Amino acid sequence: MNWAAALQLALKALWRNKTRAMLTALGVIIGVASVIAMVAIGSGAQQRIAEQLASMGTNTLVIRPGSVTRGGVRTGAGTTTSLTRADAEAIRDIPGVIAIAPTVRTGVQLRYRGTNWGTAIEGVTPDYISVKSWPLAEGEFFTEQHVISAAHVCVLGQTVARELFGLSNPIGETVVMKGMACQVLGVLSEKGATAWGSDQDDSVFAPLTTVQRKIMGVTHIDRVEVQTAGREATYQVMKDVTQLLRYRHRIQEEQADDFRIYNRAELAKTSEESAAVFTWLLGSIASVSLLVGGIGIMNIMLVSVTERTREIGIRMALGARRRDILWQFLLEAMLLSVAGGIIGIFLGLGGALGLAQFSNFPVSITPWSIILAFSFAGLVGVFFGMHPARKASRLQPIEALRYE
């Protein structure tokens, strides 16, 4: 028997029981559709989390001065003045480091014409906006030249710009802080609050040297943000920074570090991993319904074999070999599951896209989920079709012919 004839026989047999075939395939349709929709929802969430993490600048390390112990009194983190700009410049040379952003920070009262606003001022270098992935909304950022000359320039966060200037354009205007007039070069885009709730846009930025010398009168820095080449590089960079700073600060073998390194990559990794687990969880729950669909196929095929026992006997009398009978029933099961799989793919895609359209929930359709769901559906057909098909092919011709 050739393939075309076998396929035709199987199609005809299914067509004779249209309603039953459709209901049987429905199990697979729902299974495949839910696998695809669930995985799309899961990976959508995964992608959104990844985007949010990227906007936080995930491949960064933050180095802050640690505590020191003087006469048995231990000070809190960030209270020493051990970290300097020279340390930051030395870190820049570690392999795997893309950029660094040393900062100092203090409170300041800003005045512009009749109004004033209390905010934080950060002394930073031009690399700051790239390390923080924080683009400008308008104007420009200050340059290395401004840092060298400790120029009286600044860039405003959105909140500060709004509070001082309202709707008018702040660029080129002069604000006064601690009796010093600073020219506004630009305004940063809106960054929003941090995960722990402080408004990042409520800051003003000036060259590091300007803040150090003219506002605070210090030489140390508060923190260094280090951008690394990637998540993998981060761990090596952490080790190298530790070694470097211990050497530069002349810390003895038995002494504790006088700085702390905070790794954001760790946080990112954890969130991304939990999102991936979430996707797998949704996918596996959906796979159970695919399995149930397969059992439905087996159930119906077993009924069908019993109902068609006499037909099987007649076919055997007319010259069908055992494998012809096997293939006939296996093909029917596979057609049901493959047709169910194809319809299920479209239904799952439609469902996922519909959800994205109407609920604003992020979905991401991944080719592998389609391939996986479809091949799983095919396997379900073979696996659950095999038992009934074997049962049919093993019937004895005379007994099958006598069956009432």
Partner 1 sequence: MSAMQKQMQKEMPKQSPKEVINIQGLHKTYVLDGVQVHALRGIDLTLHQGEYLAIMGPSGSGKSTLMNIIGCLDVPDQGSYWLNGQDVTKMHSDALAQVRNRELGFVFQNFNLLARTSAVENVETPLIYAGVAKAERRRRAIDMLQRLGLAERLYHLPNQLSGGQQQRVAIARALVTRPSLLLADEPTGNMDSATSAELLTLLAKLNLEDGLTIALITHEADVAAKAQRKVTLIDGQLEHN
Determine the Cα angle at 176 with ends 171 and 180, to 5°: 115
**Cβ closest to partner 1, residue 139 vs residue 397:** 397
Sign (positive or negative) of CA dihedral 190, 194, 200, 205: negative
**Which of residues 3, 4, 195, 360 is near partner 1 by CB under 8 A?**
4
Tell me if 11 contacts partner 1 by CB under 8 A.
no
User: Cα–Cα distances in Å, from 300 out to 20, 31, 285, 335, 372?
Assistant: 8, 17, 24, 13, 25
Tell me if 1 contacts partner 1 by CB under 8 A.
yes
d(CA 292, CA 345): 17
Determine the Cα angle at 233 with ends 79 and 80, to 5°: 5
**Cβ closest to partner 1, residue 126 vs residue 397:** 397
**Cβ closest to partner 1, residue 313 vs residue 388:** 313
**Which of residues 77, 277, 295, 317 is near partner 1 by CB under 8 A?**
317
Tell me if 310 contacts partner 1 by CB under 8 A.
yes
Among 1-9, 77-85, 132-140, 378-386, the segment contacting partner 1 (CB under 8 A): 1-9
Q: Which amino acid is at 402?
A: R
d(CA 53, CA 63): 19
**Cβ closest to partner 1, residue 13 vs residue 224:** 13
Least Å distance, CB 302 to partner 1, is: 20
Tell me if 316 contacts partner 1 by CB under 8 A.
yes
Tell me if 74 contacts partner 1 by CB under 8 A.
no
Among 161-169, 184-192, 313-321, 347-355, the segment contacting partner 1 (CB under 8 A): 313-321
Mapped onto helix, strand or coil, the DSSP state of residue 223 is strand
Tell me if 277 contacts partner 1 by CB under 8 A.
no
**Which of residues 314, 356, 365, 379 is near partner 1 by CB under 8 A?**
314
**Cβ closest to partner 1, residue 361 vs residue 403:** 403
Tell me if 195 contacts partner 1 by CB under 8 A.
no
Tell me if 19 contacts partner 1 by CB under 8 A.
no
| Per-residue tokens: 236 | 């090596």
Q: Contact, 59 vs 227, CB < 8 A? A: yes
Q: Contact, 176 vs 112, CB < 8 A? A: yes
Tell me if 318 contacts partner 1 by CB under 8 A.
yes
Tell me if 306 contacts partner 1 by CB under 8 A.
no
Q: Contact, 87 vs 75, CB < 8 A? A: no
Radius of gyration of the chain measured on its C-alpha atoms: 35
d(CA 354, CA 273): 27
**Cβ closest to partner 1, residue 4 vs residue 195:** 4
Among 22-30, 80-88, 182-190, 312-320, the segment contacting partner 1 (CB under 8 A): 312-320
**CA-wise closest residue to 158 among 132, 175, 135, 183:** 135
Least Å distance, CB 16 to partner 1, is: 6
Among 79-87, 238-246, 322-330, 339-347, the segment contacting partner 1 (CB under 8 A): 322-330
**Which residues, 6+ apart, have CB-to-CB distance to 377 below 8 Å?**
28, 31, 32, 290, 293, 337, 338, 340, 341, 344
Tell me if 322 contacts partner 1 by CB under 8 A.
yes
**CA-wise closest residue to 188 among 145, 232, 124:** 124
**Which of residues 72, 114, 179, 319 is near partner 1 by CB under 8 A?**
319
**Which of residues 81, 323, 357, 375 is near partner 1 by CB under 8 A?**
323
d(CA 404, CA 399): 10
**Cβ closest to partner 1, residue 122 vs residue 332:** 332
d(CA 388, CA 298): 7
**138-157: contacts with partner 1 (CB under 8 A):** none
**Which residues, 6+ apart, have CB-to-CB distance to 139 below 8 Å?**
155, 171, 184, 185, 186, 187
Contacts to partner 1 by CB under 8 A: 1-2, 4-5, 9, 16, 310-311, 313-324, 397-398, 401
